[in-house]
Amino acid sequence: MSERLQPGDQAPAFTLPDADGNEVSLSDHQGRKVIVYFYPAALTPGCTKQACDFTDNLDLLAGAGYDVIGISPDQPEKLARFRETESLKVTLLADPDKKVLDAYGAFGEKKNYGRTYMGVIRSTIVVDEQGKVERALYNVRATGHVAKIIKDLGI
């Protein structure tokens, strides 16, 4: 398990395929703030709620200068199904090797009902225009999280 990021850290660079198989890099968003959120699996109830919340607030976030990227270990084909099924507008990226999840501290040991296992830690990292971590939130809840981010960022 990798270290969790802290405000002021350089956000790890990445290039991953989106739902259509196109390569998307963090550097593509240089000069804009980026909300990078990590979620366990497309087409599951909590992750659907979170993705829909981001989609519903995308215009507000974009108007405040934020791009939104969701990253999961799913394959691009599943992300495309997720996007179509839920009419999502956020950029969804596939990280099946979990290299980016690991680099951002969003993959590691989890506990559920007394069981310990390795998995995606639902996390949100806010990256500033210079590529530095502005906020690093780990073990966030799927429901109500987007509203909290908007409030915390003063949007």
**How many CB atoms sit inside 10 A of residue 113's CB?**
4
Catalytic residues: 47
Enclosing H/E stretch for 15:
strand 15-17
| Cα(54)–Cα(49) distance, integer angstroms | 9
Nearest to 30 by CA among 104, 130, 127: 130
Q: Are 94 and 74 in contact (CB under 8 A)?
A: yes
